[in-house]
Structure 1
Amino acid sequence: AWRMRGLDVPRVGELTRLMTMSAWNLLDDWFESPQIKGALAVDGIIGTWAGPATPGTAYVLMHHEIGDAGLGLSSWGYPRGGMGAVSDALKGSAEEFGAEVRTNAPVERILQKNGRVTGVVLLGGEELEADLVVAATHPRITFLEQLGREELPDEFVGSIERWNSRSGVVKINLALSELPDFTADPGQGDHLGGAIELAHSIDYIEEAFQDARRGEPARRPFSDGVIPTVFDRTLCPEGYHIMSLFTQWVPHEWSQEPHREELEAYANRVIDGYGELAPNLKRSILHRQVLGPYDMEQDLGLIGGNIFHGELSAEQLFHMRPAPGYADYRTPIRGLYQASSATHAGGGVCAIPAYNCVREIRRDRRRARLKERLTLRNRG
């Protein structure tokens, strides 16, 4: 199989190393600067319950480098109007093809009969009939809440129950009266529109993870920060800015309770960390929003607060995503498909799971039509 893909023995070896080694070891192979390695290591652990020394995080790093936002491989970009503009664009495109988009209409149950999907029941009792349903929700929601365990094979249920969806992520949004002024590169400019990492070294990041593994919020959290308003002035009034901080770690068990006071203290430490580099930051903060794992699970349906609908660990990739035998976007229920970030090529905003899912739906439809024609021909 490897030869069919043009991989010789040395390249298979390199691929094996990439899939099993840590981000720390990978970066040690290529870089010397602790600062460079710290900044690059962020892509190996972002949204992940693993530190940079954990085996398998080299793949996570590479996973975040395959995107192309129009500037070539490994480029990132800001959608004008924020992420909500992406949702609006998808909605508009779907409506152009005749779709009806309904919001504030959560699905309570997925209906099936004799192993085939028949529709859904919305919260409130409204029933919608359908012979094809695509679920983009977390697999635990889809298969353990919207369906009954008794409606699914025991082995499949066991795989979903074991699906790891830990996180430890805390999202901090800041409204600023002015841009931060970093002592290392003073003044305003496009440099403030890139990633602003609070990650002094790989050791710094690893220490933060080890704190959380011991059940404590990180004493010195790391943060992946951006200020999209440097380029996109549609997001806030003139003269103000928004700073978005994706930070880690708190204990993953915090998804079970709010931990509000501890979260605010944790956010203070993040802001203090940036304040050491940009002394004007603290006084420029007009308002802040702090979202922990509990908020992400309760408000956004991200079980465990995991933005990928499940960890990008070696045992949860490719044919294992989200369960052996069901990595092809199909499910044990005929006509019910899955296209969440927990399927192959998720996570991240890439649309690959949905693209692949539609491909499989069309393939199944062609097979069904062919089978129907052959049946009619045999009857004739």
Structure 2
Amino acid sequence: MKPTTRPRNPHFSSGPCAKRPGWSLDALEGALLGRSHRSKPGKAKLKEVIDLSRAVLGVPGDYRIGIVPASDTGAVEMALWSLLGARGVDMLAWESFGKEWVTDVTKQLKLPDVRVLQAEYGKIPDLSQVDFARDVVFTWNGTTSGVRVPDGDWIPADRQGLTICDATSAAFAMDLPWDKLDVVTWSWQKVLGGEGAHGMLVLSPRAVARLESFQPDRPLPKIFRLTKGGKLIEGIFEGETINTPSMLCVEDAIDGLRWALSAGGLPHLIRRSETNLRIVAEWQAKAGWAAFLAEDPAIRSCTAICLTITDPDVTALDAAGQADFAKKVAALLEKEGVAMDVGSYRDAPAGLRLWGGATIENEDMEALMPWLDWAFATVKAERFAKA
């Protein structure tokens, strides 16, 4: 039967993600509009984003945090173009964005010494094969595959190369071991539900030392330049952004970070996300028609929760038929107003993708589960009645 209880917030998109509970436009009343971002108040707002990010995430005091152009993608590209080339590179990829970084390094930067350790969707490369005498580039959490690294134990403390981590769907929902990470990036529009515009770039002292000692043999566009005269441009890490940010987006980022602190900080955010994953796992164990794309619970994401349809009648369809079936389920959920934008990523296996980040209320995830069963049963009855 059609469920009667609906999620209060139907926004389960994996990016941009749901706003924090209780958010309204009133949260932006303090935005510094009509003023220069280089003014004293403007720089103070930007520095507040940096300081609050450090406080919520527990970033060490000797790590730099900067606000950079072009969201998480811009932050990752800045790191790749500025830092790579001093050593060989191990590239880890198990979903679409990791594969994009592989393309950048092999086909755009065309570095001569690159190893690619790759796994299919739902799996992870053999982490024991990573060579930490080399630089290592990886995503902490695969937004499009629902796979995360299990922890940081596979990264040695005495590594010689740098670890460059795309953590955009992990930051604020997972425990990042800062002592194991040299470069970390994320975007505002993920776990804290901010608006787009800029990315965040964190540099360890080892990464700063690389920047100040290594000169890449390639031109760097202005928006990628982190040094001047062989020294780090410290202003970037004090709120002096390379290009003009949206001060509305800045205010929204501040609001999300303040909410995170008031809600209980990082432990509370992690707990909310892990509870959402547990709710889906308990439902999946009984559903009978769906499975996690990440079969191994140890590498299963608590933010990008990816599901495949395992019902025999559906799996008997060809690939196009399976994709069409999954799209119809997602479309029906959206039509009913209970779950928006929950289709799997375009390059991923057909299925559903539910965002379980910290802005998703656990009660809303619980309310959604019966709707998944109803939507699946409704689409199946229609599809096979026609057959």
Calculate the TM-score normalised by the size of structure 1. 0.24
Structure of larger gyration radius: 1
Higher RCO structure, 1 or 2 (CA under 8 Å, sep 6+):
2
